[in-house]
Structure 1
Amino acid sequence: MIGPVSVLSIQSSVAYGHVGNSAAVFPVQRLGVEVWPVPTVVFSNHAGYPAWRGPLLPAEQVREVVRGVEELGVLPEVDLVLSGYLGGEDIGEVVLEAAAAVRAANPGAVFACDPVMGNAESGAYVHPAIPALMRERMVPAADLVTPNQFELGLLTGTAPRTLPETLAAVDAVRASGPGTVLVTSVLRPDAPEGTLEMLAVHGDEAWLVRTPRFASKSHGSGDVTAALFTTHLTRDGDVRDALERTASSVYDLLRLTRDSGRWELQLVAAQDHFAHPAMQFRAERVA
């Protein structure tokens, strides 16, 4: 699809800070895109803090929200369904039902799955049933997936480190269903020290972009990355451009967050970097 996009985003929501929909919605809106957020949890803050409050919404309540949107007759307007962290298997079923309903209403719609399961530093932090659900149901149903390198390993039963290993794991994921894979954090032993890379594979093209790596960890940065990349690609159809725009925006978001001395992502301060990326990083074609 080339042109305006509307996004149905089914993710967690927090009152304080920015993860899930609380991270994804505003940056995409600054691109001039309509976003319809459906919460799967409503927490006071993300689980990186010692404590939080609020409900993990039952699957039937999330289903009711999607059903209510469907009854408005507006699903044909949805161009992109975006899913993120799943609190349980039952929420996964709701996401799959929503993606199927949108595709029935708009056959050209894209289902983008961010298979949130963990990272190299923390390991897996989801319910033990979620990796199998992702491998067997969610990822095969998706058009586009956005794992980090650790999650790519969970999806393929491998531990990719080098670029050839990472590309091979991406090929294995694509063979299961999705045509496009964005690996949101590639850490390989032969990359320059202090750098982080992202790899996007789409059609017969594979592109790698490298940025400086920040020492501090920022919860929600992966949610922003997935939302921006999937929206850029769905709207404009150019994988290299989508990758470069996303890398530029997320780098400046993390830079401003670091300079602020605060833990939470500084989304508002970075808003112009979403709408007008500096395009300071260029991607290299690697396949």
Structure 2
Amino acid sequence: MNSQAINRRVLSIQSHVVFGYVGNKSATFPLQVLGFEVDAINSVQFSNHTGYDVFKGQVLQEKELADLFEGLEKNNLLDNYSHLLTGYIGNASFLRQVAQILKKLRQANANLIYVCDPVMGDDGTMYVPKELLPIYRDEIIPLADIITPNQYEVELLTERKINTEADIWAAVEWFHERNIDTVAISSSDLGKPGELRAFISKKNGPRFAINIPRQGVNISFTGTGDLFASLFLAHSYETTDLGIALEKTIASLQAVIKRTLEMMPTNMREGKCKVTSKERELKLIQSKDVIENPSVVLKAEQIL
């Protein structure tokens, strides 16, 4: 097989929505724009994300995941993949099946990179079954090359509260002790007022932090963590400089949010009326240019 054929192909296992952008819908287009083939397996398929008043759909079970993967395996397609990316998964047996899939992918390609976004919750709220937590912590996390949790997910996994930057770096070490090469904490509330702060660390390597201005008036966006994981997968594959990878990831993420806000009705954007779930959907297609060519404004700070 031509070595170029396996350079940029991602098997992405996470949620799917018919309308809107979360999970695979949030990750696939940016990866494709950045030159990656993406083969998606949906852990759930819903009409829309769960922030709407109503959602309908199906949760896939481990047998369905195993059947889909077996089809790839029987056709000798596993050595095509450069990456495995996982995001939202809704049940324990499905999550455990991911470990078996990863084992076979690494047998086919020893250089495969596993990017794990341990999607469990945010802002103090856990929105997956509690039995997934010990499976992530004890069985899945130690298999990852790159992990992209938010602050709350870090707290869940490490069983320690994050109050200071020292707490962040102690948590980072917890992951490195489990042989995770790169820890990218996508967001935390440790920034200055009006800012989030993201952190990145390579085992036995450099550490960086970056301050991210909050955009919108008390507007929260769904799918940004999924977008972060996909962008970081792509940019960290392009360069060995993790500071640059983080800067480009945040640049595109901020630009997508900015464009999403610009396309909202003015009264919503200014906080004069309630922002609907529909209007908060990320404007990914309209942001193709800023995904493909991120303009870096926010610089990462190297932490000694």
Q: Indicate whether the TM-score tops 0.5.
A: yes
1:72 Cα offset (Å): 2.0
1:74 Cα offset (Å): 2.0
Q: Deviations over 1:102-161 (max 9, x none)?
A: 1100000111110111112x5111101011111111101111111001110111011112
SS across alignment from 2:58: coil
1:83 Cα offset (Å): 0.3
SS across alignment from 1:108: coil
| Structure-2 separation of matches of 1:72 and 1:233 | 30
1:279 Cα offset (Å): 1.0
Q: Is 1:14 matched with 2:31?
A: no
| Structure-2 separation of matches of 1:70 and 1:279 | 40
Give the AA of the match of 1:192: K
Give the AA of the match of 1:268: I
| Structure-2 separation of matches of 1:35 and 1:210 | 30
The equivalent residue for 2:48 is 45
The equivalent residue for 2:179 is 177
Aligned CA RMSD, in angstroms, stands at: 1.6
Contact between 2:44 and 2:89, CA under 8 Å: does it hold in 1?
Answer: no
After TM superposition, the structure 1 stretch with the greater mean CA deviation from structure 2, 243-252 or 205-214, is 205-214
Q: Is 1:92 matched with 2:95?
A: yes
Give the AA of the match of 1:97: Q
Give aligned pairs, total: 284
Which of 123, 126, 129 lines up with 1:124 in the alignment? 126
Which of 115, 118, 121 lines up with 2:118 in the alignment? 115
Identical positions, percent: 32
Q: Is 1:80 matched with 2:97?
A: no
Q: Is 1:279 matched with 2:266?
A: no
| Structure-2 separation of matches of 1:4 and 1:282 | 28
The equivalent residue for 1:143 is 145
The equivalent residue for 2:274 is none
Q: Deviations over 1:199-258 (max 9, x none)?
A: 111131111111211231111010000111022213433211110110000001111112
The equivalent residue for 2:261 is 258
Unaligned runs of 5+ in 2: 265-278
Contact between 2:19 and 2:47, CA under 8 Å: does it hold in 1?
Answer: yes
| Structure-2 separation of matches of 1:31 and 1:171 | 31
| Structure-1 separation of matches of 2:291 and 2:100 | 31
1:180 Cα offset (Å): 0.8
| Structure-1 separation of matches of 2:171 and 2:75 | 41
The equivalent residue for 2:243 is 240
| Structure-1 separation of matches of 2:97 and 2:179 | 19
Contact between 1:209 and 1:283, CA under 8 Å: does it hold in 2?
Answer: yes
Work out which of the two has the higher radius of gyration on C-alpha atoms and give 1 or 2: 2
SS across alignment from 2:149: coil
| Structure-1 separation of matches of 2:29 and 2:240 | 22
| Structure-2 separation of matches of 1:209 and 1:237 | 18
SS across alignment from 2:57: coil
| Structure-2 separation of matches of 1:230 and 1:38 | 17
Give the AA of the match of 2:116: C
Contact between 2:92 and 2:132, CA under 8 Å: does it hold in 1?
Answer: yes
Contact between 2:18 and 2:45, CA under 8 Å: does it hold in 1?
Answer: yes
| Structure-2 separation of matches of 1:63 and 1:181 | 29
| Structure-2 separation of matches of 1:102 and 1:234 | 18
Q: Is 1:201 matched with 2:163?
A: no
The equivalent residue for 2:213 is 212
**Where in structure 1 do 4 or more consecutive aligned residues deviate above 6 Å?**
none
Q: Deviations over 1:30-60 (max 9, x none)?
A: 0011111111111100111121111111211
| Structure-1 separation of matches of 2:39 and 2:88 | 17
Q: Deviations over 1:78-123 (max 9, x none)?
A: 1110001110111112211111111100000111110111112x51
Unaligned runs of 5+ in 1: none
| Structure-2 separation of matches of 1:4 and 1:75 | 13
CA distance change for structure 1 residues 239 and 115 in 2, over 3 Å: closer, same or farther? same
Contact between 1:195 and 1:211, CA under 8 Å: does it hold in 2?
Answer: yes
| Structure-2 separation of matches of 1:178 and 1:234 | 16
TM-score, normalized by length of structure 2? 0.90
Q: Is 1:62 matched with 2:65?
A: yes
| Structure-2 separation of matches of 1:55 and 1:168 | 39
